[in-house]
Structure 1
Amino acid sequence: MSEAFSMLRLLTQARNEGTIVWLCNIGAEQYWHPQSRGIPDREEDRIVNRIEEMNLLLCRPQDVLILREQPDPAFLAELRRLGFDIPAILTVAAPDYQTPISELVLKDEGLLQQLKEKVQEIGQVYFMPYAVTMLEEEIAQICGLSLIGPSSETAAIVNDKILNRQMAEELQFPVSAGIVSDSLEELKKNYPSLKGASGKMILKEPYAASGKGLYIIESDEQCNALFARLSRLAARRPKHPWMLEQWVDKSADVNVQLFVQTDGTVDVFSIKRQVLNGTVYIGSQMPAVLDSEVIESFQAYGEAIGRYLHKLGYHGVAGIDSMISKDGVIIPIIEVNGRFTLSTYLSFIPHVLGNKKMFSRYFRVLTNEPVFYADLCKQLESEQLLYQPESGQGVILYTSGTLPNVSISGDERYMGRVFALIAADDWTEVERLSALLEQSINKLTDRMAVSR
């Protein structure tokens, strides 16, 4: 890999330099730490895997983006209207909605050959997947791509919540009161002594994503019921590690995005305020409405975390989840994601739209008819909500494949998610547009309600 590679530089002032192959391989955790998934949710898998279209928000015209299928032409046209660049889009020959995309790529000799030819034509071609597992390493090796990111072994180590806590302690960062236990039985013994004044706690498994593997405990009765349920699972793996922490009442959730270069240089390229529903990410506020000294603190924490990751052999994108307690204490590490996050894909939108106040959010939608991108944009336009470059405000729908326009179950139920970005010159207008957008989506779902 070239020592000179800087994602921040190539996505801002040097956008005409180099060629990047992008791949949004969401679900890498199953390769780092294989666990039983239980009964798969085919509809949910389809939606999550089609989030890959967010990658278009980062691409330059000379880049290559690998997707399951071509995006809705109306979506591409809208991105062009807004000033985004559209790369060459390659799709796998035999797409399906459940198989991880890197597995599909490795089965597609034609696609692999196209990537090889791109390397032969240009020389050095960078490869930036969402995350690095053994599959992306294999793709890079077969095609001669310069993989940007850590080894799959290092990525697996970094994406460990227990290591993340140990990292914070070694860096002498503030942490919430908590313990790490090697078994559920040990956890039960330690639980009474750890309860804080509120009694509210959070139990974490070391390897999980998107709010999974997190259990909020608010009473002894709830704790006993949870331990009883987990004990049945623990019978199969008695030496499974757990982490139990006192709940911290927060004034803000904050996400720090950074890129660790191979020489140890750390670029902190985005600090966002996060909106969560419990432990699940809902959206981002950009730029974060925080005091300047707080922003400076997160900048410094991000640089320190990046240097620590570099010592572990890590380089590439990392997303750090942090929080500020009600009494103003910054807890810099809740979790380190040694990969892209959904927040990463939004980080460079200001370089297209300019200095706007922006808020991203998404809506789960269930309808009895398919909903297509052009129709939803037309609805927003009729309500004067669709983003207009002339006014510099409005709503941008930044995926098409996640919309409820495919019925996996075969009946008249269409499940999907609407990913939207609200932009304006001030937060009052963002809040007004956000409220109107919610009303618009509710009207859509009421009109197309599924009878139960």
Structure 2
Amino acid sequence: MNEPCQARTGAVLFGSFDAERRWRPEGLASLPQLADPGADRLVACMDEALFAAAEPGDLLITRDPVAPALVAAREAAGYTCEHHHTGGTHPGPDADADVEHRLLANAGLLRRIGGFARLHPYAVLPATGALADLTGHATDVPGGEQVVRVNGKAWSSLLAARHGLPGAGRVVRSAAELAEAVRSYVEPGHSVVLVKDSYGVAGRGTFEVTSERRLARLVAHLRRQEDRGLAVEFVVQPLYDRVADFSSHLLINPDGSWRLLGVQHLANSGYRHEMSGPVPHALVGDLRRPAHPEVMELVARSLAEEGYLGPVCVDSMVLRDGTWIPILEVNARMSMGGLNLRLDNRVREHGLRSHLWQEDVTIHDGFDVDHLLKLLREEGLLYEGGSGAGVLLLVGGALVAPRGRLVCAALCPPDAFPRLRAATRTVAASAGIPLARAA
């Protein structure tokens, strides 16, 4: 399906942001959790934010259409690329299909993808390999089995433990092992112990053990699943007394070489990403025993040995006592912090930095994205390129009643971020989308 008459240039960006759910092997036991029917709807439209990683001449393919006014606002800010979507929002047999399967069913888009030089998927899912093969990009993506393995929290925890790094979680493979691991953390004085699903994300798949009674209920829940033949695989860690979180972003090349793209400060709301932004240089510059570059070399080398290539996000934290946990989690895919790093690199020449944040909002009847953009522009808050500070709306599809998510990037001097975020919240509330929770 390639177009041999022309030299291929540019990259194709696409992908499903619920990669962990689609990586999760069948037959694994699950943690108790409340159903959130609206969460999948919000995640499905997060691929709109991939424009942040696109360059002029690239092609962005989203699952659903993007509001024309939002595309125009991005172009006015200097973010231009070709854009297509996989085919409307009408209900049908493929309504829940990931972007990759929708692309495999779209012959026209497959031909268009074949005319570009590279594939840049958000994450490599089971269908990504077939898509790469059909469009002449087989060497652009790693094998699916390797991707599933290295993205499990068990893999990164075992890597940290094998090299004696502080904070490595304990991997447990039975309800009995889990109970023993939790108690081993409680006895030294940890009042809260976390049990993490190996393929959980954004707090979905994290269970807090705060008492012996709560542990007993969890163990009984898992034993019932073991009796049905399901396998147990969880990571157990104490809830650390952290003072700072950050993420390091790498790129693994096909030949196994790698480079550090940058480091981002990270803030979470509960266990879900809330903000990524510039990290104080002193934080990373003072990370010793082991040194930050040594840990990144270890992660990159280990991923390359597994056959992985592509973007990587390594989450780390610094504790109140000065200890740093170098490998809290490895995400072998793109990430919100990585997208913010791309935005940051684009505006630094203008003396600005990028701060990406997201928060839940209540969507009132009659809300319109066009109206929100109009109000932001009238208030002088919309980023329009160059050195003038402003806000970019990254995702419009998440602003759907009754409850949605506001996802923005503030491009401004670091000390202006709190003011710019507060002003954006005020305008959003006036447009019919007030915050759904306290900041």
TM-score band, normalised by shorter chain: 0.7 to 0.9
Aligned to 1:7: none
Deviation at 1:264, TM superposition (A): 2.1
- 1:394 pairs with one of 363, 384, 390: 390
SS of residue in 1 equivalent to 2:204: coil
SS of residue in 1 equivalent to 2:322: coil
Residues 131-280 of structure 1: pairs in structure 2 closer than 5 A: 131-176=123-168, 178-195=169-186, 196-237=188-229, 239-280=231-272
Aligned to 2:343: 349
Deviation at 1:326, TM superposition (A): 0.8
SS of residue in 1 equivalent to 2:200: coil
| Greater Cα offset, 214-223 or 249-258 | 214-223
- Correspondence 1:385 to 2:381: yes
- Correspondence 1:62 to 2:60: no
For each residue in 1:3-35, what CA deviation from the matched residue of structure 2 results, as whole angstroms up to 9, or x when unmatched? Answer: xxxxxxxxxxxxx99321111222233443245
For each residue in 1:253-278, what CA deviation from the matched residue of structure 2 results, as whole angstroms up to 9, or x when unmatched? Answer: 11111101122221111211111112
- Correspondence 1:364 to 2:360: yes
Distance change in 2, residues 1:233/1:58 (3 Å): same
Q: Which runs of 5+ in 1 are unaligned?
A: 1-15, 120-124, 405-412
For each residue in 1:84-111, what CA deviation from the matched residue of structure 2 results, as whole angstroms up to 9, or x when unmatched? Answer: 222x223224655532111111122232
Deviation at 1:448, TM superposition (A): 11
| Greater Cα offset, 355-364 or 98-107 | 355-364
Residues 278-427 of structure 1: pairs in structure 2 closer than 5 A: 278-288=270-280, 290-291=282-283, 293-294=285-286, 297-354=291-348, 355-389=351-385, 392-404=388-400, 413-427=401-415
Deviation at 1:383, TM superposition (A): 3.7
SS of residue in 2 equivalent to 1:423: strand
Distance in 2 of aligned mates of 1:18 and 1:101:
22
Residues 34-45 of structure 1: pairs in structure 2 closer than 5 A: 34-35=25-26, 43-45=38-40
- Correspondence 1:439 to 2:430: no
Cα pair 2:129 2:138 within 8 Å, conserved: no
Distance change in 2, residues 1:168/1:17 (3 Å): farther
Cα pair 2:174 2:231 within 8 Å, conserved: yes
Distance in 2 of aligned mates of 1:361 and 1:210:
14
SS of residue in 2 equivalent to 1:437: helix
Deviation at 1:39, TM superposition (A): 10
Distance in 1 of aligned mates of 2:338 and 2:139:
18
- 1:79 pairs with one of 68, 74, 78: 74
Code of the residue aligned with 2:85 in structure 1: it is T
Code of the residue aligned with 1:185 in structure 2: it is A
Deviation at 1:284, TM superposition (A): 0.6
Code of the residue aligned with 1:433 in structure 2: it is L
- 2:45 pairs with one of 50, 65, 69: 50
**RMSD of Structure 2 on Structure 1 (CA):** 2.8
Distance in 2 of aligned mates of 1:441 and 1:229:
42
TM-score normalised to the size of structure 1?
0.83
Distance change in 2, residues 1:246/1:266 (3 Å): same
Aligned to 1:29: 20
Cα pair 2:276 2:357 within 8 Å, conserved: yes
Cα pair 1:127 1:146 within 8 Å, conserved: no
Cα pair 1:184 1:242 within 8 Å, conserved: no
Distance in 1 of aligned mates of 2:319 and 2:11:
39
Distance in 2 of aligned mates of 1:32 and 1:343:
21
State the number of aligned residues.
Answer: 417
Cα pair 1:184 1:238 within 8 Å, conserved: no
Distance change in 2, residues 1:447/1:339 (3 Å): closer
Cα pair 1:115 1:143 within 8 Å, conserved: yes
SS of residue in 1 equivalent to 2:259: strand
| Greater Cα offset, 291-300 or 205-214 | 291-300
Code of the residue aligned with 1:351 in structure 2: it is N
For each residue in 1:95-141, what CA deviation from the matched residue of structure 2 results, as whole angstroms up to 9, or x when unmatched? Answer: 5553211111112223223334x26xxxxx21111111231110111
Distance in 2 of aligned mates of 1:448 and 1:280:
16
Cα pair 1:372 1:400 within 8 Å, conserved: no
Cα pair 1:256 1:268 within 8 Å, conserved: yes
| Greater Cα offset, 194-203 or 333-342 | 194-203
SS of residue in 2 equivalent to 1:360: strand
For each residue in 1:13-71, what CA deviation from the matched residue of structure 2 results, as whole angstroms up to 9, or x when unmatched? Answer: xxx99321111222233443245999986643232111111111111222222222332
SS of residue in 2 equivalent to 1:98: coil
- 1:114 pairs with one of 112, 115, 118: 112
TM-score normalised to the size of structure 2?
0.86
Distance change in 2, residues 1:288/1:71 (3 Å): farther
Distance change in 2, residues 1:249/1:389 (3 Å): same
Distance change in 2, residues 1:446/1:426 (3 Å): closer
Cα pair 1:72 1:400 within 8 Å, conserved: yes
Distance in 2 of aligned mates of 1:390 and 1:156:
41
